[in-house]
Amino acid sequence: MTERIDGHTLLIGLMAYPIRHSMSPTMHNNAFAKLGLNYAYLAFEVGNDQLPAAIQAIRTLDMRGSNISMPNKQKVIPLLDKLDPAAEMIGAVNTVVNDKGILTGYTTDGLGFMKSLDDEGLNIRGQKMTLAGAGGAGTAIAVQAALDGVSDLSIFNRHDAEWDNAVRNVKLINERTNCRATLHALEDRDDFKAEIQDSAIYTDATGVGMKPLENETLVTDPTWFRKDQIVFDTVYAPRTTKLMKVAQAAGVTQVFNGLGMMLEQGAAAFKLWTGEEMPVDYIRHILF
């Protein structure tokens, strides 16, 4: 580290609270070192109250940019100068880029989802996806998939606080993209089964399968899946979720956790700041 830091080093931040558990500093600093890039990445405990001053500091200190995480992903928007069109549709920002004092907001979670499928040689463009969840991850995935050419999107959510968000997502996707999006109640199990069976890919973005729900899954019956489908769980701890086990029991071979998405959302931010490709396989070995 000391060999790399000098008077020219550019700082990239991570602004969130709590944040000390994050893997992002390890991810980015190892990638900078591997490629010999003169950047340093540091995590800052920043909540909503400190956010305006922290964002202004990006300009004042001429930082290259920052990642933004909870609770700041929406609150940061009015503090920025520009928004990438996908971030504007998603209504959240996880990456800020500073170009000579002009701050632009991006969301890379959906990009990471699509890129992780590309990495596996899988192309869902022109096909149908059933997606459970319309929170932060579900919204980013839905919008990016629609922008990238997924033809049909059946979004399932339970009637909780995120339902209105799901309504908003479906409306925006239908208005602004060529994708046909429909909203379905997760409580309607027959409809859920039928839509999954009619899809090229089923994606779970609810967090069911992660602690404290690690023994749960929204789909419990292997007969709901076809062998030629893709089943994608955004959870990556545990590495094999209950949903993935059900899919494997059905004989599905294209079954994925959220690890590739997590690495690729970081790689997309890395590219926005540095213009370089993150050495994803090298970082995967360091982190996992």
11 binds ligand NAD (CB under 6 A): no
205 binds ligand NAD (CB under 6 A): yes
CB of 58 to ligand NAD, least distance (A): 23
Known catalytic residue: 128? no
Residue 46 vs 114, nearer CB to ligand NAD: 114
Gap between the terminal Cα atoms of the chain: 21
CB of 38 to ligand NAD, least distance (A): 27
234 binds ligand NAD (CB under 6 A): yes
The single residue among 79, 105, 133, 241 that binds ligand NAD, judged by CB under 6 A, is 133
The single residue among 47, 135, 238, 279 that binds ligand NAD, judged by CB under 6 A, is 135
278 binds ligand NAD (CB under 6 A): no
How many other C-beta atoms are found inside a 10 Å radius of the C-beta of residue 3? 6
206 binds ligand NAD (CB under 6 A): yes
CB of 264 to ligand NAD, least distance (A): 8
CB of 233 to ligand NAD, least distance (A): 8
Residue number of the CB atom closest to ligand NAD: 135
CB of 161 to ligand NAD, least distance (A): 7
186 binds ligand NAD (CB under 6 A): yes
Q: How many residues bind ligand NAD (CB under 6 A)?
A: 25
| Rounded distance between C-alpha atoms, residue 141 and residue 133, angstroms | 10
Provide the mask over 92-111, with x wherever binding to ligand NAD is found by CB under 6 A and - wherever it is not: -----------------x--
Give how far Cα 4 sits from Cα of 7, 91, 276, 279, Å.
10, 36, 17, 18
The single residue among 84, 152, 162, 195 that binds ligand NAD, judged by CB under 6 A, is 162
Q: Which of 34, 73, 211, 245 is catalytic?
A: 73
Residue 31 vs 235, nearer CB to ligand NAD: 235
Q: Can you spell out the DSSP letters for the chain?
A: -TTT-STTPEEEEEEESS-TT-SHHHHHHHHHHHHT--EEEEEEE--TTTHHHHHHHHHHTT--EEEE-TT-TTTTGGGSSEE-HHHHHHT--SEEEEETTEEEEE--HHHHHHHHHHHTT---TTSEEEEE--SHHHHHHHHHHHHHT--EEEEEE-SSTTHHHHHHHHHHHHHHSS-EEEEEETT-HHHHHHHHHT-SEEEE-S-BTBTTSTT--S---GGGS-TTSEEEES--SSSS-HHHHHHHHTT--EEE-SHHHHHHHHHHHHHHHHSS---HHHHHHHH-
> Which residues are at the interface with ligand NAD (CB under 6 A)?
109, 112, 133-138, 157-158, 160, 162, 186, 205-208, 210, 234-236, 258, 261-262, 265
Active site residues: 73
